[in-house]
Amino acid sequence: MSGAALLLPGQGSQFVGMGRELAEAFPVVRELYEQADATLGVGLARLCREGPEGELTATENAQPAILVHSYAVWKLVADAVGTPVVAAGHSLGEFTAHLIAGTFSFEDALRIVRRRGELMAKSGEERPGTMAAVLGLDAEVLAEICERLPSGTVVPANLNAPGQVVISGDVDAVREASARAGDAGARRVVPLNVGGAFHSPLMAVAAEGLAAALDAARVGDPRFPVVANSTAEPVTDADGARERLVEQLTSPVRWMDVIHRMSGFGPSRWLELGPGNVLTGLLRRIDRDLRAESIGDPATVEAFLGAAISDT
């Protein structure tokens, strides 16, 4: 099976019980969770299985939890998939994409995303910010609203799909931009329960710390292209990976552009690996001709592998 495009989910996809069935069904997954616990010095496996939800949702825990889940699924289907033609991940998922591409080891990936989560949480405490999802409003109109605010910082942070944009910034600025978006015809504005203004200039201090964490890790050239959130261009070398992963923290996730760029590689199929199916839904909204398969539990893993065998 060749020519697959991989989609790796980001923060918000975590849930209590994630990975439990996979670990029960597949010894290799249990081993990954044990390795994660030993590497980080925390009970990540227990936290994923049992919660509590508030602790799992904490940025520094959610990010490694999602990375492990997605990587576990990859380990189970890798032989059937073969070398992907291209991959991308939404925010945190970009790190998972690079892990799968061999840009860094599993242990280094765990340490990097754990540190990333800690830095993002700390940044949110030092300069409080928030985010809101704006539905049913053109992205250019929303960007203009953000630019015209008289005070505070607010920017489009996640360009997820047509009519679905997330804004991020200072609390008052996000509140004012949300009100103006409603006046401009937004169908709905949903405040998000997050610990900071992610993918905005408010994350500048966190970006500095993340650069240091990446510099301390062994980073190599990815084995296949990983399309970056910040530029929607493929990354094929170690230096580019470092630069784009740091840049991502203060730049918008250009997910629509990412998908269009991935399409240019002509993948034969699209696979979302890990918890949830958010990216599968976004793919359909971005291009109705595209379909993705979501693989995240024993049933979907076994169905995928069974289909792969029948195709050979």
Q: CATH number, domain at 116? A: 3.40.366.10
Same domain, yes or no, for 69 and 170? no
- What is the count of structural domains for the chain? 2
Q: Give the number of other Cβ atoms within 10 Å of residue 24's Cβ.
A: 12
Cβ proximity of 156 and 166 under 8 Å: yes
pLDDT means over runs of 10, the chain (312 residues): 87 95 97 98 96 95 98 98 98 98 98 97 94 96 96 97 97 97 97 93 95 97 98 98 98 98 97 97 96 97 90 65
Range(s) of the domain holding residue 235: 4-124+201-311
Q: What is the DSSP letter of 168?
A: E
Residues labelled catalytic: 91, 199
* Residue showing tokens 């800690």: 118
**Are residues 37 and 172 both part of a single domain?**
no
User: Which of 154, 173, 192 represents a domain boundary (last residue)?
Assistant: 192
What's residue 1's pLDDT? 42
CATH number at residue 168: 3.30.70.250
Q: Which residues contact 312 (CB under 8 A, 6 or more apart)?
A: none
User: Rounded to an integer, what distance in angstroms lies between the CA atom of residue 148 and that of residue 51?
Assistant: 42
For residue 5, the model assigns a pLDDT of: 98
Q: Are residues 117 and 48 in the same domain?
A: yes
Same domain flag for 160 and 76: no
